[in-house]
Amino acid sequence: MTSNKKETIDSFTHKYSKICQENSWIDPSLYNEYGVKRGLRDKNGEGVLAGLTNISLIKSHDEVDGKRIPCDGKLLYRGYNITDLVKGFAHNQQYGFEEITYLLLFGSLPNEEQLAHFKDILVESRNLPKNFVRDVIMKAPSRDIMNSLTKSVLTLASYDETIDDVSLDNVLRQCLMLISIFPMLCVYGYHAYNHYECNESFYIHRPDDQLSTAQNILKMLRPDKQFTELEAKVLDIALVLHMEHGGGNNSTFTTRVVSSSGSDTYSVIAAALSSLKGPKHGGANIKVVEMVADIKSHVANPRDEEEVKSYLTKILNKEVFDRRGLIYGMGHAVYSISDPRAQIFKGFVEKLADDRDRRSDFELYAMIERLAPQVIAKERKIYKGVSANVDFYSGFVYSMLDIPLELYTPLFAMARIVGWSAHRLEELVNADKIIRPAYESPLIDKDYRVMQER
């Protein structure tokens, strides 16, 4: 593009973006007037009921004498408490990703024979088309691995002769394939970018059929293919905790909305990926890591509670860091007293921090987790409790595993593809109508009535 063309386009967009802003603004008072819940949640965090699901349940309140009383958060996968599930496979020194994938897809925990067969099916499904890495992933590599992943998913549709077949057996085949190859697409996409854009060595490590998903992610990512059992176990738990979180989270709801239109699996998952990549959803853990690094660089003594508390107040008041007024990793749309995923994660994070000589960093995170709710309660008018969410610790874990920032959100996708697949299948089983919520148009209606009166 010539400089003259660019100047012409820039001039137009600068002028007309202001026009867009003027004509797109809606008076916030109208949301209350028309009873619209912005973000589909009221000030107490209660959501609009948009559907039913048997896949998972999120509990943040107990019913006592007809009143809703906030409680410690609970997350149930197919009726099993996530805390019990993690304790089960962690106690038995097993990896949980494959077992919990079976649970979420099929509704029950597998026995040993079923689990072994399912692992074999995932291995058989883990195949990319010939030359796909060279012709798709290596060409036009992107620093945004989520975009690279989405491109790869949409391109895979070109290799599928049954793309429009939405029968359950075909969709299940497609979902199992995507679940099994997501780690390859993400890690290879990162290596391609790192090679062509950063002049780093380029290497492709094939996954090992005898290793778990978490083990293979670390094997494919690292130049020497080496990792410890503790590292792989903590990553495995991170994947399990991110696999599913109800039908109402943004990317899963996107999955169900697009599925309800009758679209194909590749388009559905590409839409979910596009939703997940936003910093308000899957990218939040990156902001936590950046925020903590900013605190460490500006607070003279990170062990001094008063200094840290003062800096958190400045963050909240938009004086420092990214000046958006958010303490990242704190608060959740549903949970108030606690996010069970963060509570589970914290113990394993502490073990990894001690192993990686990052005890002082862990203590800073724990201090922020304790102080941030106090700061928020003092500086903000809040309608529900504030506690650390799963993103607060996940970025810290990934940094200790030497996982690059570019792969933080893709790691979320490697896990959440399981939940998306389960919800897509459930939506197809119960397919009835396309999901189409209503929107009011108060200003247009008002102008129309005025015109009619004239």
How many CB atoms within 10 Å of residue 267?
Answer: 16
- Any residues with CB less than 8 A from the CB of 368 and at least 6 apart, and which? 292, 295, 308, 312, 327
Residue 14 falls in the annotated catalytic set:
no
Are 390 and 75 in contact, with CB atoms under 8 Å apart? Answer: no
Q: What is the dihedral of CA 372, 365, 299, 326, to 10 degrees?
A: -40
> For the purposes of burial, counting CB atoms within 10 Å of the CB of 210, is it exposed (0-12), middle (13-18) or buried (19 or more)?
exposed
Active site residue 355: no
Phi, psi of 384 (to 5 degrees): -150, 165
The amino acid that residue 364 corresponds to is L
Cα separation, 361 vs 120, in Å, equals 40
DSSP 8-state symbol, 46: P
CA atoms of 99 and 76, how far apart (whole Å): 15
Radius of gyration for the chain, computed over Cα atoms and rounded to the nearest angstrom: 23
From 391, 423, 432, 445, the catalytic residue: 391
Of 61, 191, 332, 423, the catalytic one is 332
Task: Give catalytic residues, as residue numbers.
Answer: 332, 391
